[in-house]
Chains A and B, each alone.
Chain A
Amino acid sequence: MGRLNSARIGVVTFPGTLDDRDAARAVRLAGGEPVALWHADADLRGVDAVVLPGGFSYGDYLRAGAISRFAPAMSSVVDAARGGMPVLGICNGFQVLTEAHLLPGSMIKNDHLHFVCREQTLVVANANTAWTNEFATGQRITIPLKNQDGQFVADDATLDRLEGEGRVAFRYDGWNPNGSRRDIAGITNEKGNVVGLMPHPEHAVEPGFGPAGADGPHAGTDGLAFFRSVLASLVGA
């Protein structure tokens, strides 16, 4: 338990990041110690895992996540991720992970061209990653989704490989909100330490402030399990 309580989870802030505070709060509510990391600083301050939060880093200029990829902090995150450190990319953070080549594919504008903000149900497709081990495969969870460039695309060979290797972590349930290929909402790398998804687990961690849950409106806390999962995986590591 000592290790669990002292796990340090870094949250990187880029210019234009929006959800770093919520991500840090989610880490704390799950039992970890959030550590603020700054995009211009290559020092990861000895963290055990890293969250790349949502927002519009660098205004989404060029392509979503394209410029953040070259931040000094990202060089360190890429090295650490290749070494096995758990990294979670949420929304814009997912876009950064694809631009940094830690995850395949890319995100383009939603097929309907509108910004979408809704409570989104997902099916957990892989419950063996560093960020999903507190779920059961096939479990349905509901967390907020909010984006404009959320359509996951990759060529068919890449999609076949992701599905064949069990690297689809989450699929949209019921309605595909952005035209993502094969209803993919989130994916993982080969080792399962890097996970990226468009919906926002950090906004579903506290009763009264989340999406609808079993106990009523705003009661949903399905996002907590992401952060508890990484704490559990660090204990097991």
Chain B
Amino acid sequence: MGRVVVEVMPKPEILDPQGKAVVGALPRLGFTQFTGVRQGKRFELEVDGEVTPEILEQARKAAEEVLSNPVIEDVVAVIDASEGAAAAPAQSAGLA
């Protein structure tokens, strides 16, 4: 079974209210080193069989058209995360 991981983050220029709340809470729990937090989303898309270039391409399309909203979010990674896949990202998308 193959798996593609898609990561989506709020755009840098969009204030991330959730991240802001988290960074405010961290020092209260003793974590004083962290000056900023941004909260995003990770999707795991499963497929029967292996992750082919075509499947990665479809995942990229789904990431751009459904999993993210380009007005407020960027797709920061589309990665073959199948067992045995290279540890390095096979392909990234949406980095432009």
Contacts and interface: CB of A to CB of B under 8 A. Distances in A.
B21 A108 contact: no
Contact of B14 (A98, A99, A108): A108
Contact of B69 (A106, A110, A111, A179): A106
A108 B17 contact: yes
Interface residues of A, number: 20
Nearest to A65: B69
Contacts of A66: 66, 69
A109 B17 contact: yes
Given A106-B72, A108-B72, A62 B67 contact: yes
B71 interface: yes
B71 A154 contact: yes
Contact of B17 (A106, A110, A154, A155): A110
Nearest to B67: A62
B58 interface: no
Interface residues of B, number: 12
A104, A109, A179 pick with most chain B CB within 10 angstroms: A109
A179 B17 CA distance: 10
B18 interface: yes
A179 B14 CA distance: 12
A63 B69 contact: yes
Contacts of B66: 62, 66, 70
Contact of B15 (A98, A111, A154, A155): A111
Interface string B1-36: 000000000100111011001000000000000000
A60 to B, nearest CB: 13
A153 B17 CA distance: 13
Contacts of A70: 66
Contacts of B14: 108, 153
Contacts of A110: 17
Contact of B71 (A105, A112, A113): A105
Nearest to A63: B69
Interface in A57-114: 62-63, 66, 70, 98-99, 104-106, 108-113
Interface string B57-70: 00000000011010
B69 A113 contact: no
Contacts of A112: 17
Contacts of A111: 15, 17
Given A153-B14, A153-B72, A113 B67 contact: no
Nearest to A154: B71
Interface in A176-216: 179
Interface of A: 62-63, 66, 70, 98-99, 104-106, 108-113, 151, 153-155, 179
12 contacts: A63-B69, A99-B69, A105-B71, A106-B69, A106-B71, A106-B72, A109-B18, A110-B17, A113-B18, A113-B21, A151-B17, A179-B15
Given A66-B69, A151-B17, A155-B13, 12 more contacts: A66-B66, A70-B66, A98-B71, A99-B69, A104-B71, A106-B69, A108-B17, A111-B17, A112-B17, A153-B14, A153-B72, A179-B15
